Structure 1
Amino acid sequence: MGFFKNQFANVVEWEEFRDDMIFWKWNNREIKKGSKLIIRAGQDAIFMNGGKVEGIFQEDGEYNIESEIIPFLSTLKGFKFGFNSGMRVEVLFVNTKEFTVKWGTQNPILIPTPQLPGGMPIRANGTFNFKVNDYVTLIDRIAGMKESYLVEDVKIRITSILDQLLMKWISREGKDMFNLQANASDIAKGIREDLDMEVMANGMTITGFQVMSFNYPQEIQDMITKTASHEMIGNLQKYQQVSITDAMASGKLQGGGAASDMAGMMMGMNMANEMMKNMNQGSNQGANSQSAAGGQSQPANNPSAPQGDGAKPNFCPNCGAKNEGANFCPNCGQKLG
């Protein structure tokens, strides 16, 4: 009795289901009358005969093989099932979900760049998504020879060519080596298209590819950060203010030393310069408004207002600093008009 119990099955189902399993084959066993087929959510069941697809069942549920499955299969390609001497069934269960896989470069990729003769060593990481979309091709290329197939198998295949694709699409069209994240979307799009062609031959498709980050060697990253922070150097005053503020915040200018005194003096001078510029702009705007109105401007009742023709010396008579038409010396505050 034990012999017959092992030879005949009452239930055909995915017995070794795992979330990371792409397909699993129920294979080379006989079933008897009253046997059932169980399909769970996210699964398709493919009945095969001689390695060829005879029927695909996609609705999850529990089916009586004799009354619900066999009649359907018998109408396809003249396929005949019978229980006179037992019936061998080969069923391929396929996971229909979209898989998400994390990837990362194991070693730095040397991207050719004029700035570094040996190439820019870059690491990258992200995710890609894929799913099965062609059962016939899947069976012909993989399932016909394997009993099961895991996500890890696909990941190994993808990562084996990923370094080459990263180099191809990073180098393409002169991408900025020091700001690759800005081009991450274009790079990922190109890689996805190439990877899709690669897995299409096995009955799968790449539904998404993302580059989360590009990572440079620490010394290169420090250089990029420093360069970005010094882009403001074109505005010397802003650069001085930020540099002094950073130095004071870091504690390098704390205490009553000469460096701290100099920093305070420079900040005070910068603030005074800004105040004088604002006053001059306000005065000029007022004069322009009166001229536009077509009236004769009257001397303001202000003892500090410039007298005479309003001409200002080019250099301060007190400290010699160059003057650009201001009422007061931006360096020492001497009245100039």
Structure 2
Amino acid sequence: MFNLFKDQFSDVIEWDEFRDDMIFWKWRNNEVKKGSKLIIRPGQDAIFFDQGKIEGIFKEEGEYEVESEIVPFLSTLKGFRFGFNSGMRVEVLFVNTKEFTVKWGTKNVINIPSPSLPGGIPIRANGTFQFRVLDYVKLIDNVAGVKNSYLVEDIRIRISAILDQLLMKWIAREGKDMFNLQANSFEIGEGIKEDLDMQVNRDGFEITRFNIMSFNYPKEIQDMITKSASHGMIGDMQRYKDVSVTDAIASGNSQGGNSATDMAGMMMGMQMAKEMMKDSDEKKDSDSSSKQQPATNNQQTTNNANIPNFCPNCGTKTGGMNFCGNCGHKLT
């Protein structure tokens, strides 16, 4: 009795071992039996397909009766009726609908051509990229048709295989500043994103974002970049020496036995004293000039006050002059 009805036992079509790192999973039974149920969990789509052709896509989470709620919506199988001894031969693919985030890093050192270094500048880089499933038809035709599952690691390996070449292409393009690549990381990342998207789009995937977190130079080159940046901030080498000596004196790290440092400190001290004396002399001259000007003005006002309006000798109007314009009489 058991052997006669064993194929009539209903199935539950579900992805019960749902994994965050799995992009899709194919339900392994080849035949959907009468009374079967479909369970769709959050973050999943269920695709019914037969011989590579999609029959129906179901996205709403929940539990469904296959015979009454699924079959009527299948494109070419909507007229199917479950017989007593037969089921429906169809495959079911569960797709993880979330956007995946993947860390990446260069597999090898990339030598970027540079006029400064004949052998090129060796660099490494790292960051993240995001992708998701975009086209279920392409996914089934090119990937799911021959695989039962597909992992995020599979995509990461595929991207890593071409990433070094794309980095070299977009870094060398348009003459980027090889010693300040981080400043151009967004533009470089956008170019790489476009190229990667074309690579994976044919299989139904989409690169939604590509980020470059850092570029890493060999220690010798990084030290040179750091030193060059510090010199640029100082302005010139003489200024750099002056600041270095000043810092040493201020911090108390200059050693008494170092005659060069002591002499430099004395010279800087004398120069500072000279500047202070110069400023003091200029201030004194300014104050003296300010004091003398009012005295002169006061004296001129006093003298003008002693001149009579009319000449006492001839009676002619003086006009504030020291001598009479008519008779020449002295008025003060």
Provide structure 2 residue ranges, at least 5 long, that are not aligned to the other structure: 295-332
Residue identity opposite 1:155 in structure 2:
R
Residues in 1 aligned to 2:126 and 2:91: alpha-carbon distance in whole angstroms: 40
User: Which stretch shows the higher mean deviation, 28-37 or 3-12?
Assistant: 3-12
In the other structure, the counterpart of 1:144 is 145
Residue identity opposite 2:80 in structure 1:
F
In the other structure, the counterpart of 1:83 is 82
Q: Measure how far apart 1:68 and its partner are.
A: 1.0
Provide structure 1 residue ranges, at least 5 long, that are not aligned to the other structure: 288-295, 302-337
What does the per-residue CA deviation read over 1:289-326, in whole Å, with 9 as the maximum and x for residues that have no partner? Answer: xxxxxxx965489xxxxxxxxxxxxxxxxxxxxxxxxx
In the other structure, the counterpart of 2:34 is 33
Any residues of structure 2 matched to 1:1-337 within 5 Å, and which?
1=2, 8-73=9-74, 76-77=75-76, 79-84=78-83, 85-234=86-235, 238-245=239-246, 247=248, 253-255=254-256, 257-262=258-263, 264-269=265-270, 271-272=272-273, 275=276, 299=292
**Secondary structure, aligned partner of 1:48:** strand
Residues in 1 aligned to 2:243 and 2:91: alpha-carbon distance in whole angstroms: 73
Q: Measure how far apart 1:222 and its partner are.
A: 0.4
Q: Measure how far apart 1:267 and its partner are.
A: 4.8
What does the per-residue CA deviation read over 1:202-226, in whole Å, with 9 as the maximum and x for residues that have no partner? Answer: 1011000000000001000000000
**Secondary structure, aligned partner of 1:33:** coil
Q: How many residues align?
A: 290
RMSD between superposed Cα atoms in Å: 3.0
Residues in 2 aligned to 1:147 and 1:120: alpha-carbon distance in whole angstroms: 43
What does the per-residue CA deviation read over 1:233-261, in whole Å, with 9 as the maximum and x for residues that have no partner? Answer: 53567523431255568986245643553
Normalising by structure 2, report the TM-score. Answer: 0.77
Residue identity opposite 1:230 in structure 2:
H
Normalising by structure 1, report the TM-score. Answer: 0.76
In the other structure, the counterpart of 2:312 is none
Q: Measure how far apart 1:67 and its partner are.
A: 1.7
**Secondary structure, aligned partner of 1:28:** coil
Residues in 2 aligned to 1:110 and 1:207: alpha-carbon distance in whole angstroms: 28
Q: Measure how far apart 1:173 and its partner are.
A: 0.7
**Secondary structure, aligned partner of 2:214:** strand
Equivalent residues of 2:10, 2:34 under 8 A apart:
no
Residue identity opposite 2:14 in structure 1:
E
Q: Measure how far apart 1:120 and its partner are.
A: 0.8
Residues in 1 aligned to 2:110 and 2:13: alpha-carbon distance in whole angstroms: 48
Equivalent residues of 1:27, 1:89 under 8 A apart:
no
What does the per-residue CA deviation read over 1:137-191, in whole Å, with 9 as the maximum and x for residues that have no partner? Answer: 1111111111111111111111111111100100011101111111111100110
User: Which stretch shows the higher mean deviation, 255-264 or 135-144?
Assistant: 255-264
Larger Rg: 2
